[in-house]
Structure 1
């Protein structure tokens, strides 16, 4: 049974999942990891979803205001043993619902071209590829997505 919890970045389960995520990204991002890592600090994240399977934390995701109409999806992760069960899609849908409740109209995000599972997840959930934004504009290994919710 999968349950979802709304919390914030101070949650210890979230911090533990993010530690696993960062270890994974350090491998897949290689020499670009330090560049990406600087944009993923937890102190600015107030809206976090944690997925639990049998009361064990198995996935997370967060949203952070990007502008007055847009939330940026951050820190999406599912543990390796929990992948392939639709948990990431459930987290994503919960983040989209929360975005609407907070009166935002769309979600954007950046992921790496090397994160093939993540790219597939966003395409499967009707996210459209957009021009790389902000700090990712010149990053060849970044791919950015957008989904209009309203």
Structure 2
């Protein structure tokens, strides 16, 4: 598997994010599309990545966007196959890239009802924090952080 930086408007990115949106809609009742602006991951100190399998098949995606000088937010995390470690590899790649970009912390939001995502982030060392930004008063949201240093 290889993980490549791509533009979020790339054909493979659009297909993966559409699949993510359908999955989120079925789990949470919300596609998450309103919480992601592709322009946010096209600015300095941001990135969007796609994981590809041996046959160049897109397997998953993820992104980070700046919140401030020290904190980046993980966005659009998705892996087609839930048991092959693809999501973990993408997340580890984003963490490594975030360090390279000078961030010390990653934040993210998912939905409380999305138990698989909550368990995934906890398993990967993310700790629940008070909801931030637009999620602050949203009881359906759960926010996490991971210190990278």
TM-score (norm 1): 0.90
Structure 2 alignment gaps of length 5 or more: none
1:23 corresponding residue in structure 2: 22
Unaligned runs of 5+ in 1: none
CA distance in 2, matches of 1:37, 1:85: 26
Question: Partners in 1 of 2:99 and 2:26 — Cα distance?
Answer: 34
Q: TM-score normalized by structure 2?
A: 0.91
Provide the C-alpha distance between the structure 2 equivalents of 1:93 and 1:8, rounded to a whole number of angstroms.
Answer: 19
Shift of 1:21: 0.7
Deviations 1:28-56 (A, max 9, x none): 222xx27x432212222130121112210
In the TM superposition, what is the alpha-carbon distance from 1:138 to its structure 2 partner?
A: 1.2
Query: In the TM superposition, what are the counterparts of 1:1-150 in structure 2 within 5 Å?
Result: 2-30=1-29, 33=30, 36-46=32-42, 47-54=47-54, 55-79=56-80, 82-150=81-149
Aligned residues: 144
Aligned-residue Cα RMSD (Å) equals 1.3
Where has structure 1 moved over 2 Å in runs of 4 or more?
none
Q: CA deviation at 1:12?
A: 1.6
